[in-house]
Amino acid sequence: MSLPTNPIPAGDIRDKLIIGLDVASVEEARALVGRIGEAGTFYKIGYQLAYAGGFDFARELIGQCKKVFLDLKLHDIGNTVEEGVRSVAKLGATFLTVHAYPQTMRAAMAGKAGTDLKILAVTVLTSYDDNDLVEAGYASISAAELVARRAGQARDLGVDGIVCAATEAERVRSIVGPDCLIVTPGIRPAGTDAGDQKRIVTPTEGIRLGANHLVVARPIVKAADPRAAAEAIVREIAQSAA
């Protein structure tokens, strides 16, 4: 199914919803995008799809005037991150994630210099809670405290945005200021299954807490009518942002 190639209007409220293409193949992703139609303008490609032909599909989406968020969570030695980001920037994606370690963020910002790519720093994964951090060796700091520390480091390095749970968005906004983007996964419309997410909120709460973009995957991907599910979330976002 071919999609319209008319540019999405600047400031379109639909851009606030980033639909996670958490599927196993490009064929599934293409079919899903077709079913969603003009209800979706912004798509996230993570590990599952990226390593199954997702980079070429990202180019396809961009060619259809969709926006793409490459959720690759890069983290490596500085030179590797810098050169990797430089390569990703050539794809034309809008967002790219890196882990919020200072050396990694610094390298990513160098790699995207001179391009329109925006770097998002992942603070603490939304599947983690305080117990998970203890297990990982962060016994003296809570998830919220670690998010705040990494947000401050990202701000100081000039990173374009932060990925954090919406439950931390209000505090992060107070740290990073009004111009830094806040992107929140772990969004679940009321009445839907939380799955493996532990720090979740509804779309209305996410916008109220200061998020610029909400990432939603399973509630749309697994819906009987993905377009209707996406449209319902966009309506909720519009009402919350009014």
pLDDT tens-digit series, residues 93-119 = 999 999 999 999 999 999 999 999 999
Q: Is residue 3 part of a domain?
A: no
DSSP per-residue codes, 8-44:
PPTT-GGGGEEEE---SSHHHHHHHHHHHGGG--EEE
> How many domains does one find in the chain?
1
Neighbouring C-beta atoms of residue 108, cutoff 10 Å? 30
Rounded to two decimals, the pTM is 0.88
Q: Which of 73, 90, 198, 222 is catalytic?
A: 73
Regarding predicted confidence, which is higher, 42 or 169?
Answer: 42
For the segment 132-140, the average pLDDT, to the nearest whole number, is 88
The reported pLDDT for the residue numbered 225 is 97
Structural contact between residues 26 and 52, judged by C-beta atoms closer than 8 angstroms = yes
Structural contact between residues 74 and 109, judged by C-beta atoms closer than 8 angstroms = no
Q: Is residue 1 part of a domain?
A: no
The reported pLDDT for the residue numbered 168 is 85
Read off the tokens for 147.
């998010």
Q: Is residue 70 part of a domain?
A: yes
Q: Is residue 215 part of a domain?
A: yes
Instruction: Compute the distance between CA of residue 230 and CA of residue 236 in angstroms, rounded to an integer.
Output: 10
Q: Is 90 a catalytic residue?
A: no
Q: Is residue 19 part of a domain?
A: yes
Structural contact between residues 196 and 127, judged by C-beta atoms closer than 8 angstroms = yes
Per the prediction, the chain carries an average pLDDT of: 89
Q: Is residue 5 part of a domain?
A: no
Q: Is residue 6 part of a domain?
A: no
Does residue 197 register a pLDDT over 50?
no
| Domain residue limits at 98 | 14-241
Q: Is residue 4 part of a domain?
A: no
CATH number at residue 87: 3.20.20.70
Which letter does DSSP use for residue 185 in this model? -
